Structure 1
């Protein structure tokens, strides 16, 4: 019987020794909505349950490989990190769809989740009924450079502390130094790098209305998992982030709603604008918030209601 509680949950074994925790709520025979969390590495929450009519629709989410309730955590198996890539995660999503017996679904995501949603939709457009993207990113080289280097012009004091918290080789990018430090053989080096990375994350999202420090960046092992996965993906430009805008033709005919905060300095609205311009038929909604917030979430919920019928 449809319920707000999980009606299906468990662990799905996928390649490379990973088991993904997933849950599906609502009507198992109804149209499906997939929710992709951010980070990479933040893990899935419960907000996705409130975006559907559980009597008519179903909502699915999962903890991406290496984080949350999935097994193993990346910090416990650093030897698996090089196999944790966007193409691998796209395959994970397809495996989950097949496991749940879903033909097509609307794919939603927030922040990093929007990059993964776009990569999946471009790989499997026939399996996607629409896209709802909040705090739009493509994890391009330019976006990574902005958030780890150029944004020091806005927060020069904090950036100096951030850039100096790990050892860098001459000419080495800050993100590459952190990616190296978070997989260092010395656990103290890894913890120190994760804490410094978390402090910078709190800084560059701090201009949004009602901002408060994110407890995930102050709690181990969540902080360490997040820092390890974020730096790994950002150092590699999201394993294909530079190609997303070039492949918007693969989204032709798919409805899409892009929700972005005008005050989102971590990911300026120009990324959402560029995607909207390159994707005919998409809708761009700009709200007076930072990197996500209640108005953005409400806009995404309305988008789900319009697209999932």
Structure 2
């Protein structure tokens, strides 16, 4: 375990554009968008976005050396450029794991490095546990196991004590009589037939997440989370997955299965002041996966673009580049 502030921190690699992109039909209903960046002959690396429902962010292309890596990203079911937009049907963790395998086969890749942050860490862990032989290394940050305690911390009571002003705005669409179970109250609104009510709930849900992402506030990012094109897919899909416990067999299943990672090299990266996915889960994972390096960033929250998180990510991918 390391916890240091490095005054010579690395930044993310420069902005790049895909050299290839396309759509892949993964079910009768769902079509996913994917892209490839960097070196077509480089080491394959799959980068999984957060949410669920977050879609590809350009910064996700920048955590790997584009001269040494073939960087693959895709919009998970129901978000980004994938279709249908914000669709909940046939949209579970195990559908997404199957999509990853379908994409790997479509691209002709035998094995690849798998990287994910926040919900991306959840999906990366689920994939690595079930398809261990397809993964060369696993790099995860902002660890999230969709345990009841983790979900309640952020969406019911916990983080609210640190951001009561922002939490009040999250509470606003929900009557006081329903606030004993905010997840259920939001699910009713986000899946109901009232379009105006659905949009109001989606914006409040998403804005709450945007407000708590980083140690240092970012008003521009916070405003973007409340925009309709971001909020609807993010809120509907997140609430759908969380109400269903991540579609795992039981609460805590993901960490219970972490012994299946034995022998797999990797890195766990965690911001000390992460309010969205608090450090307890990363700590629990590190104890179950001793083959991973555990890097705690002492001056960071949840966002992957915070300087300490970006530095740790770039150093990890550089270390595994050969």
Q: Same fold by TM-score, threshold 0.5 exceeded?
A: yes
Of 296-305 and 170-179, deviating more is 170-179
Among 223, 235, 259, which residue is 1:215 paired with?
223
Residue 271 (structure 1) aligns with: 281
Residue 128 (structure 1) aligns with: 135
* 1:52-76 CA-partner distances (Å, limit 9, x unpaired): 33333200001111000111111xx
Among 94, 98, 105, which residue is 1:98 paired with?
105
* 1:249-287 CA-partner distances (Å, limit 9, x unpaired): 111111111111111122211111110011111111111
Residue 11 (structure 2) aligns with: none
Equivalences for 1:216-255 in 2 at 5 Å?
216-240=224-248, 242-255=252-265
> In 1, are the aligned partners of 2:39 and 2:69 still within 8 Å (CA)?
yes
Counterpart Cα distance in 2 of 1:105 and 1:265: 30
Residue 51 of structure 1: CA displacement? 3.0
> In 2, are the aligned partners of 1:168 and 1:177 still within 8 Å (CA)?
no
Residue 5 (structure 2) aligns with: none
Among 260, 264, 288, which residue is 2:270 paired with?
260
Residue 200 of structure 1: CA displacement? 2.1
Among 200, 212, 215, which residue is 1:192 paired with?
200
Residue 43 (structure 1) aligns with: 55
Among 126, 133, 151, which residue is 1:144 paired with?
151
Instruction: Give the number of equivalent residue pairs.
Output: 301
* 1:81-113 CA-partner distances (Å, limit 9, x unpaired): 132110000000000000000111110011110
- Please say if 1:163 is aligned against 2:174: no
Counterpart Cα distance in 1 of 2:254 and 2:77: 22
The secondary structure found in structure 2 opposite 1:214 is: helix
Root-mean-square deviation (Å): 2.1
Residue 294 of structure 1: CA displacement? 2.2
- Please say if 1:60 is aligned against 2:60: no
Residue 72 (structure 1) aligns with: 84
- Highest RCO, 1 vs 2 (Cα 8 Å, sep ≥ 6): 2
- Please say if 1:291 is aligned against 2:298: no
Residue 124 of structure 1: CA displacement? 0.3
Counterpart Cα distance in 1 of 2:294 and 2:139: 10
Among 19, 23, 40, which residue is 1:7 paired with?
19
Residue 162 of structure 1: CA displacement? 2.8
The secondary structure found in structure 2 opposite 1:150 is: coil
* 1:120-152 CA-partner distances (Å, limit 9, x unpaired): 101100000111112111121110011111223
Residue 123 (structure 2) aligns with: 116
Query: Structure 1 residues 227, 168: CA separation in 2 closer, same or farther (over 3 Å shift)?
Result: farther
> In 1, are the aligned partners of 2:63 and 2:310 still within 8 Å (CA)?
no
Residue 85 (structure 1) aligns with: 92
The secondary structure found in structure 2 opposite 1:284 is: strand
Counterpart Cα distance in 2 of 1:265 and 1:298: 20
TM-score (normalised: structure 2): 0.87
- For structure 1, which runs of at least 5 residues remain unmatched after alignment? none
- Please say if 1:307 is aligned against 2:317: no
The secondary structure found in structure 2 opposite 1:221 is: helix
